[in-house]
A and B are shown apart, each in its own frame.
Chain A
Amino acid sequence: MSLPSSNVLIQVIVIGLLTGGVYAVMVSGLTLIFGVMKIINIAHAAFMVLSAYLAYWLFTGFGIDPLLSMIGIVPLFFFIGKLTQRRILAPVGDDPGLLVLLTFALAITLEGVLGSISGTTIRTVRTGYTSSIIPVQLGSDLTLRLPLVRLTGFVASFLVLGVLWLILNRSNLGRAIRATIQNSEAAQLVGVNISRVRSTTFGIGLASVAIGGALFSLIFSFNGSSHVVWISKMLAIIVLGGLGSLPGALIAALILGVAEAVSAVTMTTYISPIVFFLILFLTLIFRPQGLMGAKVREG
C-alpha cells in the first residue's frame, strides 16, 4: 500500500464523492422501504439493473438518452412497485425471513428473464458525452478532471433526494409515511391507511431506483447477474447509514464512495469491493444501528 501524491488523492476523493452521490439515489428507496415496511428488498438492485436495461434498449433502439427515457421509466416503476407490494408482498404477512426470501426470489426471476433476453454480454450506454471530462482549475498546480457523466449523476441524485425530502416533509403522504416509520400501529389508530402507505412507499422506492438505474447505465457496465454484487454494496451503505434513515444513507453513500475510490488507488481495484462487505459485516456486528438509526439486529 503506497500513498499517491496529494493531488491525485484529492482527484480520487472528489470522484469518490461524485460516485457516492449516485449511490445515494440508488439506495434511497431501499432504506425508505425498510423504514416503512421493515423489509429488506433484495430485489432492489435487480430492479435497478432492469431499469438500466430499459434505458440501454431505448438508447440503442431509438437513440433516446437515458436521462430523457427516465420520464417514461419512472412512472412505470412506480406502478410495478405498487402492484408488487399489493399482490406479492402484502399477502405473505410479517415474517421477515420469508419476506427476504420472497424479494430474493423476485431478484433471481428478474436476473433469469434479463439473462434469457439479453445473454450474459456486459452492456453499457455510450452516449456522445460519455467520455467528456470537465477540467476545474483549483489553484496553480491543481486541476480537477471531472467526468461529465458522474457529475450529471451527482447533480441528478441531489435533485431526486431533494424531491424525496420534499415529499417526506412537506406533504400529507410524507407525514403518513413518517408516522408509519415511527409507529405503524399508532399511525393506524389515528387514521393512516397503512396498507396504502406501504404500497405507495414501495412504488416510490422503485421509482427512485429507476432513476438510479438510468444513471447507473451511463456510468457502469452491467449484465443480468450484476445485481448480486450491487445489492451487497447497497446493503452496506444503508446498514452503515442506519436502516430506514435517509440522511444516514446519504452520508454513508458518500463515505463508501470515497472509501472505495481511495482503496482502489492505494491498494488494488480487486480489493475495493471488499471494503463494502467488510464495512457491512463490521457495522452489523459492532454498531447495528449504523450511523444514524435504530438498532437493526431485530430487523
Chain B
Amino acid sequence: MSTIGRLLKRYWMFLALAVLLVYPLLYRAPYYHVVGFNTLMVATAATGWNILGGYTGYKSLGHSTFFGINAYLVAIAANQLGWNPLWSAPLLALVVALVALGLGWIMARAKGSAFVIATIAMLLIFRLLALNLKSITGGAPGLSQPLAPWSPEYSRMPFYYYMLFWLVVALLVSRYIRRSRFGLGLLAIRDDEGKANMVGVNTTMSKVLAFGVSAYFIALGGGIWSYAQTHIAPIFAFNILNDVDTVLATMLGGLGTLWGPVLGAFILIPGADYILFNFGASQIHLAVFGVLMVVIILFMPRGILPSLRDRLVAREETSSAFTGARSMEEMSDDRAGDELEVGETP
C-alpha cells in the first residue's frame, strides 16, 4: 500500500473535518448552511441513538420526545429567564437526559416489539401535552424566542459550526463507550441479554444509562434547532419523522458501528433535500424514505459500512492468496484500520 493510502487510512477523519470546516465558506448561500446544519444535527442525533439502538439493539421510535422537550425548555428559558440558548441547550439537555433516565427505567421493563410500542406511545403523550398545556407551550401555534444576535447575513453559519463541534463530541463519547467496559456490556445485551445478565452485566442499569446518553445528544440537537428556528410548534418538535431520519440514517450507514450513523446522515439528509427541492411535495419524500427503509432491511440489513468492510476483507484475502503471505507491516496496518473503524459487526 502506498504511503498516501496509508496516511489516508489513518487520518481520513481529519481531512473530512477540514472539508466540513471549509464547506460553509465556499458555499455562501444560506440554503447550503441550512442543509449542512440539518445534516450535522441528524448525524449527531443518529450517533446518540446508535448508542442505544445499535449497541444494545433496543430500537426506539420515540427518541424525538427528548428533541421536542429540550426545544421547548430552551425556548422557555430564553423567554422567561433570558438564558442564551448556545449554553442553555447543552445544559438543559442534561436535565432532559435525567428525565430520560427515569423514563428509560420504566421502559427498560419492556423488550422487543413491546419496547418499540412504548417509545411511540411516549412520543404521542408528550406531543399531546405540548399541544394542550397552552399556558406553558403556547399550544398548537407554538412558541417564539429572540433571534440570534448576529447579522442575518451569516444566517445559520454559526449554528453549523456549533453543531459540528457537538457532532465531534458525540463521536468521541460513542467511541469511548464502544471501547469501555460499559460498552462491552451493551454489546453483550444485544447479543444475548439473558447470558449477559448471567455473566454479571447489570443489564437494567446498562440499558437505562444507554437510554439517557442517547437521549442527551438528541435533546442537544433539539435545543440548538429551537434557537435556529426561533419559532417552534408541537407538530415539528414532537414528530415521529424526526425518528425516521435518525433511525434510517443509522440503518443506512451501519447499525452499531461508530461511523455508520454519520455516513448515513450525510447521504440521507442532502438526498432527501434534493428530492424535496426537485419534486416539491414532502409526502413523496416520506414514501421514498419508507421504500428505502424496506430495501435496506431486506437487502442490506447491516448497513453500508459493515457490508463494504466484508467485501474489502474478502478481496484482500483472495489477493493475498496469490501474492503469498503478507508482511508483518501490512498486517499491523490492518489492525490500525480496525481500530479506526471500530465498527465490529453483529
Asked if A and B are interacting partners, one says yes
Q: How far is the CB of B51 from chain A (nearest CB, A)?
A: 15
**Interface residue stretch chosen among B36-44, B200-208, B290-298:** B290-298
* Contact residues of A between 267 and 285, Cβ < 8 Å to B: 268, 270-271, 273-274, 277-278, 280-281, 284-285
Among B58, B122, B240, B287: residue with most chain A CB under 10 A: B287
Q: Count contacts on B: residues with CB < 8 A to the other chain.
A: 41
Give every chain A residue within 8 A of B287 (Cβ-Cβ): 108-109, 111-113, 115-116
Tell me which of A91, A97, A120, A284 contacts B59 (CB under 8 A): A97
* Interface pair A288/B285, CB less than 8 Å apart: no
Give every chain A residue within 8 A of B169 (Cβ-Cβ): none
Evaluate whether A280 and B118 lie within 8 angstroms (CB atoms) in the complex, with A116-B281, A270-B128, A299-B113 already known. Answer: yes
0 or 1 for each of B278-289: is its CB under 8 Å from A? (1 = yes):
000101111111
* Interface pair B116/A97, CB less than 8 Å apart: yes
Interface of A is mostly: helix
Interface residue B312 (Cβ < 8 Å from any Cβ of A): no
Give every chain B residue within 8 A of A298 (Cβ-Cβ): 111-112
Give every chain A residue within 8 A of B251 (Cβ-Cβ): 101
Interface of B is mostly: helix
> Residue on A with the closest CB to B53?
A97
Q: Count contacts on A: residues with CB < 8 A to the other chain.
A: 53
Interface residue B7 (Cβ < 8 Å from any Cβ of A): no
* Interface pair B117/A229, CB less than 8 Å apart: no
Q: How far is the CB of A275 from chain B (nearest CB, A)?
A: 11
Tell me which of B124, B283, B293 contacts A105 (CB under 8 A): B293
Interface residue A296 (Cβ < 8 Å from any Cβ of B): yes
> Residue on B with the closest CB to A41?
B113
* Interface pair A285/B124, CB less than 8 Å apart: no
Interface residue B125 (Cβ < 8 Å from any Cβ of A): yes
* Interface pair A297/B110, CB less than 8 Å apart: yes
* Interface pair A105/B110, CB less than 8 Å apart: no
Interface residue A232 (Cβ < 8 Å from any Cβ of B): yes
User: In the complex the two chains form, what is the Cα distance from A120 to B282 in whole Å?
Assistant: 11
Give every chain A residue within 8 A of B297 (Cβ-Cβ): 92, 98, 101-102, 105
Among A114, A115, A278: residue with most chain B CB under 10 A: A115
User: In the complex the two chains form, what is the Cα distance from A109 to B286 in whole Å?
Assistant: 6
Tell me which of B59, B106, B132, B283 contacts A101 (CB under 8 A): B59
0 or 1 for each of A8-45: is its CB under 8 Å from B? (1 = yes):
00000000000000000000000000100011101000
Evaluate whether A112 and B283 lie within 8 angstroms (CB atoms) in the complex, with A101-B247, A274-B128 already known. Answer: yes
Q: How far is the CB of B266 from chain A (nearest CB, A)?
A: 21
* Interface pair A91/B284, CB less than 8 Å apart: no
> Residue on A with the closest CB to B288?
A112
Interface residue B68 (Cβ < 8 Å from any Cβ of A): no
Q: How far is the CB of B100 from chain A (nearest CB, A)?
A: 15
Give every chain B residue within 8 A of A112 (Cβ-Cβ): 283-290
Interface residue A146 (Cβ < 8 Å from any Cβ of B): no
0 or 1 for each of A68-103: is its CB under 8 Å from B? (1 = yes):
000000000000000000001001100011111110
Q: How far is the CB of B96 from chain A (nearest CB, A)?
A: 19
User: In the complex the two chains form, what is the Cα distance from A19 to B113 in whole Å?
Assistant: 27
* Interface pair B111/A229, CB less than 8 Å apart: no
> Residue on A with the closest CB to B120?
A232
Interface residue A239 (Cβ < 8 Å from any Cβ of B): yes
* Interface pair B290/A109, CB less than 8 Å apart: yes
Evaluate whether A235 and B121 lie within 8 angstroms (CB atoms) in the complex, with A101-B59, A285-B109 already known. Answer: yes
* Interface pair A92/B290, CB less than 8 Å apart: no
* Interface pair A284/B288, CB less than 8 Å apart: no
Evaluate whether A284 and B109 lie within 8 angstroms (CB atoms) in the complex, with A116-B284, A273-B128 already known. Answer: yes
- Other than the given A100-B116, A102-B294, 16 more pairs (CB < 8 A) read A98-B297, A101-B247, A104-B293, A107-B290, A108-B244, A108-B290, A108-B293, A109-B290, A111-B287, A111-B290, A115-B281, A115-B287, A231-B120, A232-B120, A271-B132, A281-B122
Chain A to chain B contacts (Cβ below 8 Å), 26 pairs: A34-B113, A40-B113, A40-B117, A92-B297, A92-B298, A100-B113, A101-B59, A105-B290, A106-B294, A108-B244, A108-B286, A109-B290, A110-B290, A116-B281, A116-B287, A229-B124, A231-B120, A239-B114, A273-B124, A273-B128, A274-B125, A274-B128, A277-B125, A284-B118, A298-B111, A299-B114
Return the 9 tightest CB-CB contacts between A and B, nearest first. Answer: A112-B287, A109-B290, A115-B283, A112-B286, A105-B293, A96-B112, A40-B113, A108-B290, A116-B283
